[in-house]
Structure 1
Amino acid sequence: MTKKAILAVSFGTTFPKTREKTIGATERALKKAFPAYDVFRAFTSRIVRARVAKNEGQVFDDPATALDRLSNQGYGEVIVQSFYIIPGIEYGQLKQVVNTYQSKFKKLKLSQPLLDTFDDFQMLTYFMEKQSASLPAGEAILWMGHGTAHSSFTTYACLDHMLAGTKSYVGAVESYPDITDELTRLKHAQIKKVYLQPLMMVAGNHAHNDMASDNPHSWKSIVDANNIDAQPRLKGLGEYPEIQQLFIEKLSKLI
């Protein structure tokens, strides 16, 4: 019988609690949905892997090392499950790694990131709208995306546009639309209180420092300075069963 594995790949995080609430929870959901497959983990960030090894004594593989290990352990079928939100630079690099290892397995496939097709966008915006639907007038959720220099930076603006007329807004830390753009929209909608949430798999460094901290350049500080009450919520997308299910559905199509 062919040994089968799912390799769950993400950027990773140095925050242990959110790691298990998001990445770990999604991995457990995959294992439950696909019991015939062993589930393994890989992080693409060298810095994250180094810091986790130093501070926690845990060693996580990069994708290439993980695929070498799986090949040596006799796995014939491997599905690489990307936990990325957009098909950006990191996803492109992962795709290159997977392509170089095709000859080592009978079957090696890579799933798409969370947002790939129009249906993906529709399902995610439905989820986001649902999170803010019960908020009273004058309150909203501002989702913080990572942003990218890749052409897929348009993902965030597309989500923001698709959510027009709802109580959910989308900005990005490192690209468009930024916090200034979203402040203009929040003020126009006469929002007095906004909940800040990461539009990222984990509530890691960006969520803690760029979103929720008292640093004068954080989104919380900037929003507060514009007379809007900012309430950070440190909950990564991976904590939500609905998001875990979206990854499961992507994996189902490959399997």
Structure 2
Amino acid sequence: MTLLRNSIFLLLALLLAVPAQAGHHDEGPVKPAIVLAAFGTSYPEAVKSILNIKAKVEAANPGVPVRLAFTSNIIRRIWQKRQNDAAWKNAHIDIPEEVLYVKHPLATIADLQNDGFRDITVQSLHVFAGEEFHDLTTLVGSLGSIRTLKPRHAPFVRLALGRPALGMPGEAHPYTEDLAKAAKTLKADVEHARKLDAALVYMGHGNDYFSTGIYSEFQKVLQAEYDYPIYIGCVEGFPGFDDMAKTLKAAGKKNILLKPFMIVAGDHATNDMAGDEDDSWKVMLTKAGYKVTPDLNGLGMNDAWAGLYVDHVKDAMAAQPDAK
């Protein structure tokens, strides 16, 4: 009887254990991953800004794979053409494959999910919550809304989105606090401008389809933080070059330190900002009587600014996943 009783207990234990394992483990362990979604750049030298941010995120998240993705269709097509250009690749052997073969966030997320990563944090590397971030929000929200008949078969346990450097609408992380933190990361730029006795002028990208008033608000935060003439203009939207130039004139400075207020110093910074064409900001400001010193370093090269994204990744990973 003792042997029979023990056998029955063993069988019951096995029967109870099997459903529990099938319900919990048939999809494998939940593995986290991070996707850094940048607008992107086609300039090889400017890639360093994005890679610098990636290095900082990797250092803060040891053991968690970090993948790059570019949201710009035009930029990705340029890199796709280079993939089959042997001469170009031989001339740029320092470009890592993760950039040469960069994908859209949709494809990058799908690749990670296919490799077994079901807890994915997508961190925006955009400056503010404009058009590109809007589309990224829609993408992540749509993928995260996928439901399956059996919840354990859902493609994602968590799919979170980290906010841009200058924040986003919402109560969880007030954007005004993000503006204050971002302003403190630009101290070295202000000190550089002081040494030159120059007004500090930033060229932002802006957008024609979203309100870009955040730039003017951030300009006010910067001026209050440093009590110094700091101005931001945009390639697209408000405040444009003319808007910036009018307020700049009131500062009374004869020198200007001109920098990109963009993650990378790519096409806009090289040509629209610091180029030699008549419509470049450097040329127009020079004709207006200023001595202009361009600085072709994107925000991504600033370790303190890169740290903003590290913090935003941490916040996104700590957020509770939506109920399934």
Q: Which TM-score band applies after superposition, normalised by the shorter structure?
A: over 0.9
SS at match of 2:45: helix
Structure 1: how far apart are the matches of 2:196 and 2:68? 42
Alpha-carbon distance between aligned partners in 1 of 2:130 and 2:107, rounded to the nearest angstrom: 22
Write out aligned runs for 1:1-255 (5 A). Answer: 1-19=29-47, 21-55=48-82, 57=84, 58-102=100-144, 103=146, 104-116=155-167, 117-133=175-191, 135-136=194-195, 138-164=197-223, 165-255=227-317
Runs of 4+ in 1 over 6 A off after TM superposition: none
Q: TM (normalized to structure 1)?
A: 0.94
Tell me, in whole angstroms, the C-alpha distance in 2 between the residues paired with 1:51 and 1:151.
26
Deviations 1:143-168 (A, max 9, x none): 11101124440111111222334132
- d(CA) in 1 for partners of 2:55, 2:302: 13
Structure 2 unmatched runs, 5+: 1-28, 85-99, 147-154, 168-174, 318-324
Give secondary structure in 2 for the equivalent of 1:76: strand
Tell me the secondary structure at the aligned position of residue 251 of structure 1: helix
Cα distance change on mapping 1:176 and 1:111 into 2, 3 Å = same
Question: How far off its partner does 1:56 sit?
Answer: 5.1
Deviation by residue 1:73-126 (Cα, 9 ceiling, x = unmatched): 111110001000110111010111111222321111000111111111112223
What's the CA shift string for 1:182-237, capped at 9, x where partnerless? 22222221111111111111101110111010010010011001000111111000
Q: CA RMSD in A?
A: 1.6
Deviates more, 1:116-125 or 1:74-83: 116-125
**Secondary structure of residue in 2 paired with 1:101:** helix
| Letter matched to residue 71 of structure 2 | T
One-letter amino acid of the counterpart of residue 108, structure 1: L
Q: Whose Rg is larger?
A: 2
Contact 1:129–1:167 at 8 Å: present in 2 too?
no
**Does the aligned pair in 2 maintain the 1:160–1:171 contact within 8 Å?**
no
Preserved contact between residue 3 and residue 75 of structure 1 (Cα < 8 Å): yes
SS in 2 for 1:163: helix
Aligned CA distance change for structure 1 residues 191 and 26 (closer, same or farther; 3 Å): same
Tell me, what secondary structure is at the counterpart of 1:143? strand
How many Å separate the matches in 2 of 1:244 and 1:231? 24
Question: How far apart, in 1, do the equivalents of 2:215 and 2:187 lie?
Answer: 15
Is there any run of 5+ residues in structure 1 with no aligned partner, and where? Answer: none
Q: Which moved more, 1:206-215 or 1:45-54?
A: 45-54
The CA distance in 1 between the partners of 2:257 and 2:178, in whole Å, is 24
Q: What is the distance in 2 between the residues matched to 1:205 and 1:72? A: 35
Q: CA deviation at 1:130?
A: 4.6
Contact conserved, 1:86 with 1:152, CA < 8 A, in 2?
A: no
User: Percent of pairs identical after alignment?
Assistant: 30
For residues 26-58 of structure 1, give each alpha carbon's deviation from its aligned partner in whole angstroms, at most 9, with x where no partner exists: 111111100131011111111111111213552
Quote the Cα distance in structure 2 between the aligned partners of 1:234 and 1:35: 31
Structure 1 window deviating more from structure 2 (182-191 vs 63-72): it is 182-191
Give, in whole Å, the separation in 1 of the partners of 2:196 and 2:292: 15
Instruction: Please say which of residues 116-125 and 158-167 is displaced more in the overlay.
Output: 158-167
